[in-house]
A and B are shown apart, each in its own frame.
Chain A
Amino acid sequence: MHPVVRWFHQLGSPPYFERFAARWAPIAYIAGLLVMAYGLYGALFVVPADYQQGDSFRILYIHVPSAWMSMAAFALMALYAAIALIWRIKLCEILAMACAPVGAAFTLITLATGSIWGKPMWGTWWDWDPRLTTELILLFLYLGVIGLYNAIDDRRNASRAAGLLAIVGVALLPVIHYSVTWWNSLHQGQTISLFGTSHMDPSMLPPLWAMVIGTHLWFVGSLLARARADNLRRETGKDWVARLAEPRA
């Protein structure tokens, strides 16, 4: 059997995954932290203040990567859920459910930093703009998946139900965004779009890419850590978990 295929199958074994995740999660965390540290340093101290927005522009370096991460995590969650539902792979169930809290955290960061950025910039903490509204609904979708997963006692049924919800959510998300955009366009009171895209000078980009990569690495670490916890929870009572939990003499 091809080594990669064999490794893939081995990951499906709970004890093997436990060892894999215990080893790689810290590496991903640390790598993410280092890259983010570089990005944040650049964002705070290297990049010059924007001539229009001043220093508040620096919030972008957290806001944009978090926004991208919130959507990427949802798409990944739906993908894992689809694999889990079609091929009934237990590990994919676990990974799908592990995506939800991390994705929700990034969505929360996006909404909060966006609100904090919006207050000095455009004078309001909130606006029912299509992008903000869709991001808020995305948060609800995440919370729905988490809530449904926690509400059902049997872990496998719970992950299948919540996974189906995630798939429905990812299918509906573009529809929601389109509908809110269309609705917003009917209200021609605001002919000037409050949240237009700002054009970035190329010198301002490297910290942004660093933050994007850093958050992705962090996401991998968090995913593995949470998957590890869920794996242990599902397998509790088995011998290998008892042996793992033994206090080291």
Chain B
Amino acid sequence: MIRSAAKALMIRDLRLIWRRRGDALQPALFALLVVVLFALALGGEARELAKVAAAVLWLAVLLAGLLALDTLFRGDADDGSLEQWLLAPVPLAWLVLVRTSMHWATTALPLLVATPFLAELLHLPHEQLPVLLASLALGTPLLSLLGAVVAALTVGMRRSGILIALLALPLYVPILVFGAGSVAAAGQGLDPVGALLLLGAGLVLALVLAPLAAAAAIRIALD
């Protein structure tokens, strides 16, 4: 029952995303634009950009994910499927976890794939790239899970765009600090493993707790 529900939800999400596959590119394009704007604002010189490249890339991925957060539950909230979730015989938290994983796979994974190209645009030193990718691989699921809680809290509201950002960004701060910080540490020759392990621990915790919190939030929002 649990497994078939997950499979059904995953297939449905993939099918929906395939029908609008152009939309799946939008977070990556947004991240690219953020990179362009940062590069222009900072003056475009390779040496200057290389110093801040990792931080800018982290911000680009984070902000792109933030914008994509609105689509996590909105489609289902609009057509009533979310209420069907409440009535389903499987735990709501499980459905939330499956949905969040699919959302991460279709919004954050393209970003991760695009990161090496974006890194090249910002002249990121090549030795920092593996640490950057590792921190993003651990950090983006965390961002998605925390974001899911916030998205669930605001699912009933109209025009909640800025509100989602205001609620989510403070929660994102520790992830950003450890994520971008791990790359900065690596750049200075220190061991980034500590920060990455903390991200990993946070991810494990969030995998268990965030869906529960989001489920509770959905129940509140739909009451």
* A/B: CB atoms within 8 Å of each other: yes
Partner of A124 from the list B36, B39, B40, B46 (CB cut-off 8 Å) is: B46
Partner of A136 from the list B36, B43, B46, B123 (CB cut-off 8 Å) is: B36
Report the minimal beta-carbon distance from B1 to chain A, rounded to whole angstroms: 37
For residue A183, CB closer than 8 A to chain B, the reply is yes
What residues on B are CB-neighbors of A187 within 8 Å? 43-45
For residue A180, CB closer than 8 A to chain B, the reply is yes
Given contacts A125-B120, A127-B44, A147-B26, 16 further A-B contacts (CB under 8 A): A124-B123, A126-B123, A128-B39, A128-B45, A133-B36, A133-B44, A137-B36, A146-B22, A147-B22, A150-B22, A183-B40, A183-B43, A183-B44, A187-B44, A187-B45, A189-B45
- Is there contact, CB below 8 Å, between B40 and A140? no
What residues on A are CB-neighbors of B29 within 8 Å? 140, 143
Name the CB-closest residue of B to A136: B36
A124→B121 CA distance, assembly (Å): 10
* Chain A residues with a Cβ under 8 A of chain B: 124-129, 133, 136-137, 140, 143, 146-147, 150, 180, 183-184, 186-187, 189-190
Q: Which of B33-62 touch A at CB < 8 Å?
A: 33, 36, 39-40, 43-46, 49
What residues on A are CB-neighbors of B45 within 8 Å? 128, 187, 189-190
Number of interface residues of B (CB under 8 A): 15
Name the CB-closest residue of B to A189: B45
A184→B44 CA distance, assembly (Å): 8
Interface centre among B39, B40, B44, B49 (most CB of A within 10 A): B44
A84→B68 CA distance, assembly (Å): 34
Interface string of B126-153 (1 = CB under 8 A from A): 0000000000000000000000000000
A selection of 24 A-B contacts at a CB cut-off of 8 Å is A124-B46, A124-B123, A125-B120, A126-B120, A126-B123, A127-B44, A127-B46, A128-B39, A128-B40, A128-B44, A133-B36, A133-B40, A140-B36, A143-B29, A146-B22, A147-B26, A180-B40, A183-B40, A183-B44, A184-B44, A186-B43, A187-B43, A187-B45, A190-B45
What residues on A are CB-neighbors of B22 within 8 Å? 146-147, 150
Name the CB-closest residue of B to A124: B46
